[in-house]
Structure 1
Amino acid sequence: MAGGIKVKAISGNPSGLLAARSLRLCGKPDLGGSGGRGFEVNAAQRSGGCAVFSLKGIETLEAARELVGARVFVRRKELPPPGEDEYFVVDLVGCAVIAADGVPIGRVAGVVSGPAHDWLEIRRSGGGEALLPVVSEFVREVDVAGRRIVVTPPEGWLDAS
């Protein structure tokens, strides 16, 4: 695909991205400031663990190279809904993290993808950040509508700095 751009999905699975009809790219000087720039998708295909997009207005390899390192955003309505026990990262960021006994731990600052599972990046109420594996042993309940996640962290995790 001449002038195509390769996009790595946060989830590690680019299949859902292939349905996008438009992309917003941000974080590069030529992309219109903090709001970025929208592009219409001409074509999309999977290549390994990435999605490759042909974008209207990006016709050459040189033009595509200018976009390397840009952050890519897709409208939620253009993505398939998440499956059972799956969530959009944007829905988790900002959620309160609460221990199963009701003690507040902090808030989700981000999600880090890992080879075996993802990790919640938690900004602790008392300061500092910590990572918690997103596995059923530790994450007991995710309530996106209520903006809270109930966890049972491993022994000693709450005491670690």
Structure 2
Amino acid sequence: MIKLLIPLVIVFIALMVAMAMIGSRPALPTSNAAMPLPHVETIAVEVGDVPVSIVAYGSVSARHELELASEVTGRVVWVAPEFEPGEMVAAGKVLLRVDAVSYRLALAEANASLVHSNNALADATALKRKAAAAEARLNIEAARQRIIKA
């Protein structure tokens, strides 16, 4: 029974101490002073046009993007005035002119390579014909030798 009584006494004492602390706290000061009203100016409403300006921040991106590449290499000798970032250009419009010297040089080299390849082909064809003729002569001679031995 004493074991049951000791916790009850401790709880009772704790409640009494808590009530004493709550009852002895200082009272909050109350103020009956009225808050001062802010000073406000008003104007009469007038009907009229008022310009509206809006300042906004953001980013802009193109609806269509296009990568351009030249079909030939060379030095650029002329640029169209419309060829600026953000400008619109019509389809088929010439935007740049490239110096034709390097293009003509590459064309001449390609033509020379073509002539060289055609000559090599003609030589190989002629050698093949000579080899075929020599082989035919050898076959004829071998046939004659077989006839003689027979």
TM-score (norm 2): 0.24
> Please, what TM-score do these two structures have when normalized by structure 1?
0.23
Structure having the higher strand fraction is 1
Query: Bigger radius of gyration, 1 or 2?
Result: 2
